[in-house]
DNA sequence: GCGCACCTGACATTAGGCTGACATTTATTT
DNA sequence: AAATAAATGTCAGCCTAATGTCAGGTGCGC
């Protein structure tokens, strides 16, 4: 998931970018409207975090241009002004959400997740967890766009974990979903799949946690 | 347990509905996709039995619409086609299980039970006491959102205390719930669990009180 | 102060989990 | 059809967290 942050305040920009990076997103920063425009033309981002109050070309202008190119990238507007007209204006221009300054990082993350889920993921029929995206239609998994090769079993287990994000899943439950009621697998087999999945995902910062005595857990990405 | 059966073949529909009714489920029948949709919008079902081959709006479309409303109702797909892509497509759309026509009623019942068990019965039901929340479905405990790591024993004891909130529980009662009548634990073991639980919970303001001579007590949160 | 119930740090033991290696099955290529 | 490669599942040895017992300490209630 690539996010473009458009923010002129250096301090705020750094905090935001760092926090999003830590959560596993690939983040770029634009400090002016024009810079934002060229970056948007070039790179393919999955979302834009847009501060309205920019020197020179302001945020609304960036948004207007973006929408002219008919892209449907979700845009989250950040602004210090709160009056209703202002907000409505932004949404009419095609923004998807609106957040008031100052904001808490947790809120930023929540809104980011919601937007990505609503737009990018649902359009693509995909599941995600931080930088990890699992495209169900295309049967492909990737982290930050870099594809991950998975065998069928690994794929199934991962999808199951993603469908139960934040929940501990029992090994028996995994076995049930894997074999269509015919074979039965040893519990150890699941451990092996998890081990193999980990060897592919750990290096990308995706951690499958073990909950001793219960099963496994894929945590929702946190701030 | 309310089940919606979506099936256009009158004979098959009748058989299925009758069988499920006899088993004690409340069953409704939809004979077309559109009918299914409106029923799903209106009534709250615990499960859907979905034939894919429908006149007009097909089963996949019904499923897609259902999932768009992000409901997590379990869906069991019934189809005469068996090729893998087809099956995968359904499951990716968010179906929970897949059954080939023709099927035996026993299998239908087995899968129905399994699905209901997995979903509805395990639907997020949480126990809480003040800031402490114990999510039974996710197998996770947290205080003010901050997760608390618990071992199985600690978990079991805590759940038991929470299920008897405000009541004094005897140590013997805890022992009974812990071991299924097999092992015999010393009373001291319970004291140790409580001690360990306290060391994890006290700092978060959750206090397990000792009632000398009787057992332990988790107080209902006071105003 | 005394006795008893309870607490808790330390320890040995156990059970659960990890993973490299191998045998077997399945898919792909030639 | 044979050869090759990939995926799968089992196993065994290793490692570590969890468990349960003990023993000495604490403190409640009389």
Q: Quick one: CA torsion of B193, B199, B204, B208, rounded to 10 degrees?
A: 40
Residue B148 belongs to a domain:
yes
Give yes or no for CB of A153 within 7 Å of strand D. Answer: yes
Which residues in chain A (28-87) have CB-CB distances under 8 A to chain B?
A: none
Q: How far is CA B131 from CA A106, B136, B145, B169, B218, in A?
A: 19, 16, 8, 21, 13
If one counts the domains in chain A, the total is 2
CA distance B204 to B82: 54
Give yes or no for CB of B188 within 7 Å of strand D. Answer: yes
pLDDT range class, residue A169, cuts 50, 70, 90? very high
Residue B116 belongs to a domain:
yes
CA distance B72 to B47: 9
Which of B94, B138, B141 to mutate to probe the A interface, most A CBs <10 Å? B138
Q: How far is CA B205 from CA A30, A32, B194, B201, B219, in A?
A: 45, 48, 15, 7, 12
Q: Are B13 and B118 members of one domain?
A: yes
Q: What is the CATH number of the domain that holds A147?
A: 1.10.10.10
Which of B70, B140, B151, B152 to mutate to probe the A interface, most A CBs <10 Å? B140
Q: In this predicted structure, which of A34-48, A73-87, B131-145, B166-180 has the lowest mean pLDDT?
A: A73-87
Q: What are the beta bridge partners of residue A100?
A: A79
pLDDT range class, residue A46, cuts 50, 70, 90? confident
Could you tell me if A123 lies within 8 Å of chain B, comparing CB atoms? no
Local confidence pLDDT in tens for the 223 residues of chain B: 788 999 998 888 988 998 888 877 888 888 888 888 877 766 568 889 999 888 777 888 888 888 766 467 888 888 877 655 566 677 667 777 778 777 778 778 878 877 776 665 555 577 888 888 888 878 889 887 788 999 999 999 999 999 888 889 999 888 888 765 545 778 899 999 999 999 999 888 888 999 988 899 988 765 4
Could you tell me if B121 lies within 8 Å of chain A, comparing CB atoms? no
Q: Which of A136, A166, A212 sits opposite B92 (nearest CB)?
A: A136
Average pLDDT over residues A151-178: 88
* A164/B199: higher pLDDT: B199
Q: Are B22 and B89 members of one domain?
A: yes
What was the pLDDT predicted at A81? 77
Q: Are A215 and A157 in contact (CB under 8 A)?
A: no
Q: Judge whether residue A126 has pLDDT over 80.
A: no
D7: residue with closest CA to C1' = A151
What was the pLDDT predicted at B223? 43
Q: Are B83 and B146 members of one domain?
A: no
Q: Are A106 and A158 members of one domain?
A: no
pLDDT range class, residue A17, cuts 50, 70, 90? very high
Using a CB-CB cut-off of 8 Å, the residues of chain B touching A217 are 140
Q: Are A17 and A94 members of one domain?
A: yes
Hey, what are A145's tokens? Answer: 């766009």
Q: Are B118 and B132 members of one domain?
A: no
Residue B223 belongs to a domain:
no
pLDDT range class, residue A200, cuts 50, 70, 90? very high
- Quote the distance between the C-alpha of residue A30 and its chain's center: 19
CA distance A104 to A126: 28
Could you tell me if B118 lies within 8 Å of chain A, comparing CB atoms? yes
Residue A223 belongs to a domain:
no
Residue A7 buriedness (CB in 10 A; 0-12 / 13-18 / 19+): buried
Q: Which of B76, B101, B122 is the last residue of a domain?
A: B122
Q: Are B173 and B106 members of one domain?
A: no
Q: Quick one: CA torsion of B163, B165, B169, B175, rounded to 10 degrees?
A: 30
Q: Quick one: CA torsion of B15, B19, B20, B21, rounded to 10 degrees?
A: 100
Contact B98 A125 (CB under 8 A): no
Contact B92 A137 (CB under 8 A): yes
Q: Which of A85, A102, A122 is the last residue of a domain?
A: A122
What was the pLDDT predicted at A191? 96
Q: Are B118 and B12 members of one domain?
A: yes
Nearest CA in chain B to A118: B68
Q: How far is the CA of A92 from the C1' of C26 (A)?
A: 55
Q: What is the CATH number of the domain that holds B113?
A: 3.40.50.2300
Q: Are A114 and A156 members of one domain?
A: no
Q: Are A170 and A194 members of one domain?
A: yes
Q: Are A188 and A96 members of one domain?
A: no
Q: Which of B122, B138, B157 is the last residue of a domain?
A: B122
Q: Are B16 and B109 members of one domain?
A: yes
Q: Judge whether residue A181 has pLDDT over 60.
A: no
Could you tell me if A173 lies within 8 Å of chain B, comparing CB atoms? yes
Residue-number span of the structural domain to which A82 is assigned:
2-122
Q: Which nucleotide is closest, CA of A184 to its C1'? A: D9
What was the pLDDT predicted at A71? 75
Contact B139 A166 (CB under 8 A): no
Residue A189 belongs to a domain:
yes
- Helices A59-68, A33-42: axis angle to 10 degrees equals 20
CA distance B61 to A111: 29
């Amino acid at each position: 998931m690539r996010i473009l942050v458009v923010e002129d305040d250096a301090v705020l920009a750094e905090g935001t970018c760092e926090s999003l990076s830590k959560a596993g997103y690939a983040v770029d920063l634009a400090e002016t409207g024009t810079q934002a425009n060229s970056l948007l033309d070039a790179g393919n981002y999955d979302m834009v975090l847009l501060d309205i109050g920019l020197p020179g070309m302001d945020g609304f202008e960036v948004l207007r241009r973006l929408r002219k190119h008919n892209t449907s990238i979700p845009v989250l507007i950040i602004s210090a002004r709160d009056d209703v007209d202002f907000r409505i204006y932004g949404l009419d221009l095609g923004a998807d959400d609106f957040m008031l300054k100052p904001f808490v990082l947790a809120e930023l993350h929540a809104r980011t997740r919601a937007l990505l889920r609503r737009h990018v993921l649902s359009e693509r029929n995909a599941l995600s967890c931080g930088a990890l995206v699992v495209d169900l239609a295309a049967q492909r998994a990737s982290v930050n766009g870099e594809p991950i090769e998975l065998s069928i079993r690994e794929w199934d287990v991962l999808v199951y974990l993603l469908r139960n994000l934040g929940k501990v899943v029992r090994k028996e439950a995994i076995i049930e979903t894997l074999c269509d009621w015919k074979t039965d697998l040893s519990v150890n087999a699941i451990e092996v799949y998890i081990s193999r999945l980990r060897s592919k995902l750990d290096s990308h910062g995706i951690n499958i946690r073990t909950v001793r005595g219960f099963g496994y857990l894929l945590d929702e990405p946190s701030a």
